[in-house]
Structure 1
Amino acid sequence: MQKFIESPTVITVENVSKRFVVHQDKSLKDRILHPRRTAAHAEDFWALRDLSLDIHSGNTIGLIGPNGSGKSTLLKIIGGILSPTTGRVLQRGRVAALLELGAGFHQDLTGRENIYLNASILGLSKKQTDKYFDEIVAFSGIENFIDTQVKFYSSGMYVRLAFAVAVHVDPDILLVDEVLAVGDEAFQQKCLDKIRSFQEEGRTIIMVTHTLSQIEEFCTRALVLGQGQVVYDGNPIDAVKVLRSGFESLVDADVARERIARELRENEAERERRSQGAISEIRSIVEGGVLHPGGNLTVEIDVDIKNELPGWNLGLSLTNGLQQMAMMTSAHRAGLKGTTLTPGTHTLRATFPNMHLPKQEYTISAALYDGSGAEISRFEDAAAFTAETDERAAGLHYSPVNLEIAN
């Protein structure tokens, strides 16, 4: 995740709403023959509702959300491709938009001709385009097809040429909407490297993507959209968690925001708890390397304590190969209650005497808790040992059974 940059505002979105009219008619013929019925069956769909935000220069903003949440509509309004129904967008600097496959291309023109057409749409003169032409073609990697009509291009070739033009028109603001998913892996990496160089140059990038790892890696800020409204605006890692939480099942956006705010507070409290300490290692010690009936098992747990931990507790469990709990204990159950762990590294040692376990391999797990009983750290299946017995008993406990005929 990149660090957010405090800088001047380059884009201001003020109370923007966007309405689309959805017609229920099955065909154009129905609209012509039955205009009154058409009007009666038309429905308003609000892709955006009173959305406001400021975007600061030099930042990379991620727009994420479920399908139909308004991400692409917002990006098109920022790029000037769509006009808002209400509200306005103010911006400073040259904007290059890569929003739709082949947008700005003419099917009957060659790649060469479309470079000049697209560059002129983005505000470059012919002289400026001449200057960048060779770099654009080299970046796109389609030199052999540059004089072919673009209607014969594959989707990947479209994206290569469109992205190459967009990043070479010297934009202050770059808008990218999911189109990179069409390119092959090598070209995607090339594009991401270009985005990194743009970030280093202090340019502003707004991107829509369903590849959430890109949001976490590249963005300094992320917005989660739902039902045409911003339900979360802030840290990209938290934004991804919000999206994965399934908030879109909530009908009311205000309810969604309240739930998200509550969950983020709980997550922050959990992070604060977990920062108190952690289990770093678990070791099992058995004399001779194998646990025989009546033998002793020693388990050592190393913990790193960051802040003083009064009233702590440690849970310890032994699990067999069928994922059945063979034994469970804790520091409190073993009599170590009401003590305090001081900051630093400590080794907690548990001794299990006179053990009788059936023959198989066992794993050891542990969990560290604070004084309120909240879990701080967990280490699953961190150590293992093997028990050896004969065949006289089976189950969770072993006993050397003797059987005789009593009468």
Structure 2
Amino acid sequence: TFGIVGHNGSGKSTLLKCLTKILQPDEGTVSVNGSISALLELGAGFHPELSGRENVYLNAAILGVSRKQVQERFDDIIEFSGLEQFIDTPVKNYSSGMFVRLGFAVAINVDPDVLIIDEVLAVGDADFQAKCGDKIADFRDRGKTIVLVTHAMSDVVRLCQRAAWIDHGNLRMIGAPKEITDAYMRTAHEGRSVQYQDGLRWGTGEVQIARVEILGADRQPVTFARSGEPHAIELELTAADPIIAPEVVISIFDQNATLVSEVSTRTRDVFIDQVHGSRTIWFELDSLPLTEGTYEMSCSVVDETGHREYDVRSRFVKFDVLQGESADQGLVTLGGHWNLDT
């Protein structure tokens, strides 16, 4: 499996269209050994007025597969797509996720020598993405070739043996997937930093959250966090008058506004005697469990009952997490380790 990464407009999709002979290169030659199946654009190769069933045959014919061969594999295609109930519905009524399901099911089940995938799997839900990942791994283990364009660096590390970074139409780097993705992400995040947003804020103001920083292992503020590495969240609290026994709460949300984790001083049996003037508190993480992605953080200070809100700052810190050494998938990495009997 060969992964290709790069910014939007860098030439990734153009390269794939040259591989599939949709476009001709201005210079040089393209050589492909064996049959190609490509999943390039959402809905490509489908006729909107035809049903899913009819489009399976149409799409397979475009890929050079005979009707007899499709009939032999039709049940496998439909089962993999999970669209049994909608297979006779015109695809113009399909959602983007349904398009991807059917397109990938056809592309993988016509058993090509080379499978080319351009980002479209990102449209599918988590279960279907996991299913595709397993199918790609099986495809690879059978000696087939996969060319994968994606913005999900964890997929490149997990699925690919080699990778390339394309920048403004030029090959910037080629090598091991982890090496390529690390170099690309460092460049992608140049000039970016933790963002402080004007989100919702309320409370009595008796205690205020004056500052929040995300720190790295060196105890210095970071521009982005990295999964699996030590970090700390530093909060500076201020109060004009002594406030006894406040509780601090940190909440982390993913890009879909799903609460990933919430932790407080109370749930960790930490007692803050009082805040008067300025006081700093840290939440220490030996290994950041968040996987690659963009997150938002809320911070709150309440009284010991949790009913009196001194300062609540809702989703006002936005930060990126880069992939660490692990290629774990999902919202969090469990941080455990495997043992095997001997």
TM-score range, shorter chain: 0.5 to 0.7
CA distance in 2, matches of 1:179, 1:156: 9
**Equivalent position to 2:95, from 130, 136, 154:** 154
Residue 198 of structure 1 aligns with an amino acid whose one-letter code is F
Which consecutive aligned stretches of 4+ in structure 1 deviate over 6 angstroms post-superposition?
Answer: none
Partner of 2:45: 104
Partner of 2:35: 94
Residue 189 of structure 2 is aligned to residue 241 of structure 1: no
Residue 65 of structure 1 aligns with an amino acid whose one-letter code is G
Contact 1:66 1:248 in 2 (8 A): no
Partner of 2:172: 231
Residue 184 of structure 1 aligns with an amino acid whose one-letter code is D
Partner of 1:163: 104
CA distance in 1, matches of 2:93, 2:39: 20
Residue 140 of structure 2 is aligned to residue 199 of structure 1: yes
Partner of 1:131: 72
Partner of 1:113: 54
**Equivalent position to 2:116, from 172, 175, 186:** 175
CA distance in 2, matches of 1:322, 1:163: 52
CA distance in 2, matches of 1:227, 1:247: 14
Give the helix-richer structure, 1 or 2: 1
Higher relative contact order (CA 8 A, sep 6+): 2
Give the C-alpha shift of residue 119 in structure 1: 0.4
Structure 1 residue ranges without an equivalent (≥5): 1-59, 250-320, 325-407
Give the C-alpha shift of residue 227 in structure 1: 1.0
CA distance in 2, matches of 1:209, 1:73: 14
Contact 1:63 1:209 in 2 (8 A): yes
Give the C-alpha shift of residue 235 in structure 1: 1.0
Give the C-alpha shift of residue 245 in structure 1: 2.0
CA distance in 2, matches of 1:248, 1:323: 28
CA distance in 2, matches of 1:165, 1:322: 57
CA distance in 2, matches of 1:100, 1:137: 20
Identity percentage over the alignment? 53
Residue 94 of structure 1 aligns with an amino acid whose one-letter code is S
CA distance in 1, matches of 2:173, 2:120: 24
Residue 52 of structure 2 is aligned to residue 81 of structure 1: no
CA RMSD between the two structures: 1.9
Contact 1:226 1:248 in 2 (8 A): no
User: Given the two structures, how large is their TM-score scaled by the length of structure 2?
Assistant: 0.55
Secondary structure of the structure 2 residue equivalent to 1:205:
strand
Give the C-alpha shift of residue 86 in structure 1: 2.5
Partner of 1:379: none
Residue 189 of structure 2 is aligned to residue 215 of structure 1: no
CA distance in 2, matches of 1:220, 1:189: 18
Pairing of 1:250-289 with structure 2 (within 5 A)? none
Secondary structure of the structure 2 residue equivalent to 1:133:
helix
CA distance in 1, matches of 2:171, 2:148: 15
Residue 225 of structure 1 aligns with an amino acid whose one-letter code is I
Give the C-alpha shift of residue 209 in structure 1: 0.4
Residue 27 of structure 2 aligns with an amino acid whose one-letter code is T
Give the C-alpha shift of residue 87 in structure 1: 2.1
- Alpha-carbon displacement from aligned partner over 1:319-347 (angstroms, at most 9, x marks no partner): xx9489xxxxxxxxxxxxxxxxxxxxxxx
Give the C-alpha shift of residue 180 in structure 1: 0.6
Residue 117 of structure 1 aligns with an amino acid whose one-letter code is L
Structure 2 residue ranges without an equivalent (≥5): 191-278, 283-342
Secondary structure of the structure 1 residue equivalent to 2:48:
coil
- Alpha-carbon displacement from aligned partner over 1:203-255 (angstroms, at most 9, x marks no partner): 10000000000111111111001110011000111101111121798xxxxxx
Residue 179 of structure 1 aligns with an amino acid whose one-letter code is V
Corresponding residue pairs, total: 195
Secondary structure of the structure 2 residue equivalent to 1:225:
strand
- Alpha-carbon displacement from aligned partner over 1:94-119 (angstroms, at most 9, x marks no partner): 10000110110011111011000000
Partner of 2:210: none
CA distance in 2, matches of 1:159, 1:121: 17
Give the C-alpha shift of residue 90 in structure 1: 1.0
Partner of 1:65: 6
Partner of 2:287: none
